[in-house]
Homo-oligomer: A and B are copies of this chain.
Amino acid sequence: MSDGDAAEEIMCATYRALCSHGYADLTMQDIADESPKSKAALHYHYDSKHDLLCAFLDYLYERFVERTADIEAEDPLDELLALVDVVLQKSESEPEAFETALLEIRAQAPYEPGFRERLGRFETYLVEAFVEVLSRGRDDGTFVADVEPEETARFLVTVLTGASTERVTVGHSVESTRRMLRSYVRQHLLAESGALEA
């Protein structure tokens, strides 16, 4: 088994262990129990639970970047909505237990610089992806000429973060956020208002 395969196997075990145990009580033994590897073998690859979870956040980041790279869109409007959908689908296709574990990890960010750094990288990537498509759509006339890509991108990311938190906190589906965001884009960003059916 290559190092890459071993890492992939450990990441999958970490995912299953987070779904079963949540973050707070998670131990290296829980992760080993979900994997063919022993706890000692996990420690050979990662010094601590913290290191392993940092690697896990890197793994999620890479998978997310791959998914956004796979977006095939006809124009900036399609692309913007597809990007929103990738984020929302990530949220709704995961079990609530996993979303919950991720929110637990987010809540540890102030105490764990390694977590905060990785969550910040994720957010920066997403903001930049929105800025890029908003700028392109403004320049080609898809979006209104006075759209401010940076400010709008941050706004969209804040909405998506809020939707993910609300799913865990009060059990809302992300469907209403999808509807609201499509309506926001249609009414406020699109140059030819009404061209998009919600």
Contact = CB atoms under 8 A, between A and B. Distances in A.
Copy number of this protein in the oligomer?
2
A interface, over-half SS: helix
A170 B96 CA distance: 22
Interface of A: 22, 24, 96-97, 100, 103-104, 106-107, 109-111, 116, 119-120, 123, 151, 154-155, 157-166, 168-171, 176-177, 179-180, 183-184, 187-188
22 contacts: A24-B24, A97-B110, A100-B111, A103-B106, A103-B107, A103-B165, A106-B165, A106-B168, A106-B169, A107-B107, A109-B168, A110-B168, A110-B171, A120-B171, A151-B176, A151-B180, A154-B176, A158-B166, A158-B177, A159-B159, A160-B162, A161-B162
